[in-house]
Structure 1
Amino acid sequence: MSTTTKQRLLEVRNLEVTYASGAAAVRGVDLSLDAGQKLGIAGESGCGKSTLALALLRLLPAGTRTSGEILLDGEDVLRMKWGRVRAVRWAGASIVFQGAMHSLNAVHRIGDQIAEPILLHRKATPAGAKKKTGELLEHVGLPAARADAYPHELSGGQRQRVMIAMALACDPRLVIADEPTTALDVMIQAQILRLIEQLVSEQELGLVMISHDLAVLADTCDRLAVMYAGRVVEEGPARQVYDDARHPYGKALSAAFPRIGDTASRFAPRGLPGDPPDPSALPTGCTFHPRCAVALDACVTQDQALRDAGTGRWAACVHVGAPAAPTAPEATGEAEEARSSTS
């Protein structure tokens, strides 16, 4: 009996991105996503999150070198001809950038901006595009009449809803959200996140959501990948990674956010000293070792690949899967006695 394997919506294989300056922004990243799934990508500024997002739709600046594979419905984005890339953008995959005011054109009405990709990619009539625009606005919680508004006439949350409406204009199968709620207050942020979750569920979209906020990703996404110095250093179920990170960097990111009801974390939040390394001058060995409190001598010279860290979990750390050595004096003494008795 023959069996068929379900094709992934998105599969990233050994992706490398190097800027013209020589900075290695993404190094050997492997990720996958099915329709209806939500993948979160976390990390500090400079860890390669936004570069990865831009690479998925070939939006990187000229002179950037890329290698590996980005398979969207089985088709490699990196090897598409430009005409095919233009067709895939908006219709196959779309992106929601952070800071809607920087992405929207200040001198055009929002309805015209939403209608533009519909006219271009769907070959709709002006009347059909206008109707679709009104439907999209209402779908994201705005009256259709707001299509005549200019961006400056809308609040931050409303502008972000417009960006989401634009991303959905051509019914893409994949939506990439690059820090879509960073500039919003907590209440509006919660509304936008609920809207995104609802749309993914209703339309069976795939969502790649990028943020520095692990708490947001843990509440929104199914799986979470933590990036550091251009690599994925931990991946697994989002809530498990947030509550019980296996990589020291994941632990530090999680500990940086106070937990509601946890007095210890509220009054003594733990930070992480230093900054991510310069992508053009990466340290040897594990790139996190200069900031790691539990680094070993091997970490300075030996790079660490992802290891099995439990069911559906991986972490790139020498401590993952390694046997725990006794540290208490009593344990050491007992071990010495045991060895003496057998000699």
Structure 2
Amino acid sequence: MRDLTVTYSGGARAVRGVDLAVDAGQKLGIAGESGCGKSTLALALLRLLPAGTKVTGEILLNGEDVLTMKWGRVRAVRWAGASIVFQGAMHSLNAVHRIGDQIAEPILLHGGASPAAAARKAGELLEQVGLPAARASAYPHELSGGQRQRVMIAMALACDPDLVVADEPTTALDVMIQAQILRLIERLVSEQDLGLIMISHDLAVLSDTCDRLAVMYAGRVVEEGPAAEVHRDAHHPYGRALSGAFPRIGDPASRFAPRGLPGDPPDPSALPDGCAFHPRCPVALDSCATRDPEPRESGPGRRAACVLVGPEAATAARPAAEEARNTP
């Protein structure tokens, strides 16, 4: 993604100048509160946004720009080039069709396989995600939530895509099933050398699953770096607040004094001047109300969009940053 911007028909700028990349075999996590542009970013990757939405920049999939593809090519790329696992399987599965038929459908459309061959591959995909092939005859309501999510993953892998986008794939699951699904996704990415973009509001899940992590706020990437490092020691004030909102097991300080932020992300159609985060930022400077910094290097392999990071950070601002870092 290069300078990717998404503006809805009502003028809401949901994504603003995002630059991100994911390689084969790499797992990229995207975190942020609801309304920060994560799902819009996912839908933009395969041009699934509603009519009237303006999208600019580039989305290069194996070097080919998705935004300039003709519709026939877009249809060919969906499933076969990149696929999406949506949040909530029952919103994506057809309640009146057997799951085997639903997995086989993209194989028939994109792979040119015979119905018998497509049915066999559907059974193989179910076994690959830990379900018996015999469950292909089941309807969605006959499966548990975790089983339905496994079916969605099997569908996403049906046409051997290069990229899988998982938009909050475990939000509706209990913690035990969530852990199983995350381990399954990790294993499949490793075995098949896929690129994975996983979207979540939970930094702990992303830091445990992904190689790199990008934190979004008000449509922009405000921090990016190795996932475990960003979760443990975020450089942007928003990244620190997001990380601090999730208590760490074994850490009494975070258990008894969880941190967070008052208020909500700004309305994308009425963004404040300067840094969009400054009205909620505990260490905002006067200049933050007028200056919207671009992401800059904040360490090896890390970027952050804040005036308090990088070699140009004002000396007078450093004590404020350290105070915020140490305040529970």
On whether the aligned pair clears a TM of 0.5, the verdict is: yes
Distance 1:219 1:161 in 2: 20
For 1:62, the equivalent position in structure 2 comes to 51
- Pick the structure with greater CA Rg: 1
Task: State the 1:304 CA deviation.
Answer: 1.1
> What SS does structure 2 have at the residue aligned with 1:246?
coil
- Stretches of structure 1 lacking an aligned partner (at least 5 in a row): 1-11, 329-343
1:281: which partner in 2? 270
Instruction: Determine if the alignment matches structure 1 residue 206 to structure 2 residue 195.
Output: yes
Look up the SS of the partner of 2:264 in the other structure.
coil
Provide runs of 4+ in structure 1 moved above 4 Å.
none
Structure 2 equivalent of residue 261 of structure 1: 250
The reply to whether residue 42 of structure 1 matches residue 31 of structure 2 is yes
What do residues 205-239 of structure 1 show as CA deviations (whole Å, max 9, x unaligned)?
00000000000000000000000000000000000
Q: CA RMSD in A?
A: 1.0
- Aligned mates of 1:308, 1:166 — CA distance in 2: 39
Out of 283, 298, 305, which is 1:316 matched to?
305
| 1:15 equivalenced with 2:4 (yes/no) | yes
- Provide TM-score, normalisation by structure 2: 0.96
Number of equivalent positions: 317
Unaligned runs of 5+ in 2: 321-328
Q: Quick one: which amino acid aligns to residue 204 of structure 1?
A: D
Q: Distance in 1 between matches of 2:120 and 2:299?
A: 50
Q: Distance in 2 between matches of 1:141 and 1:327?
A: 52
Secondary structure at the aligned position of 1:135 is classed as helix
8, 15, 21: which one pairs with 1:26? Answer: 15
The yes-or-no answer on 1:250 pairing with 2:239 is yes
2:112 aligned partner, one-letter code: K
C-alpha separation in 2, matches of 1:177 and 1:327 = 39
- Choose which of 196, 204, 229 in structure 2 pairs with 1:215: 204
SS at match of 2:136: helix
Paired position in structure 2 for 1:236: 225
Whether contact under 8 Å (2:307, 2:314) holds in the other structure is: no
Counterpart for residue 7 of structure 1: none
CA contact (8 A) 2:100 2:119 kept: yes
Residue identity in the other structure for 2:71: W
- Percentage of identical aligned residues: 83
Deviation at 1:268, TM superposition (A): 1.2
Query: What amino acid is aligned across from residue 76 of structure 1 in structure 2?
Result: D
The one-letter amino acid paired with 1:115 is A
- Give 1:70 deviation, angstroms: 0.2
Q: Measure how far apart 1:267 and its partner are.
A: 1.1
Query: 2-side partners of 1:261 and 1:172: how far apart?
Result: 39
2:146 to 157, 164, 168: 157
- Secondary structure of 1:33's match? coil
1:336 corresponds to: none
**SS of equivalent to 1:193:** helix
Cα shift at 1:324: 3.8
> Does structure 1 residue 133 correspond to structure 2 residue 122?
yes
Question: How much does 1:29 deviate?
Answer: 0.2
Deviations along 1:169-216, whole A, 9 cap, x unmatched? 000010000000000000000000000000000000000000000000
Superposed CA offset, 1:117-174 (max 9, x none)? 0000001101000100000000000000000000000000000000000000000010
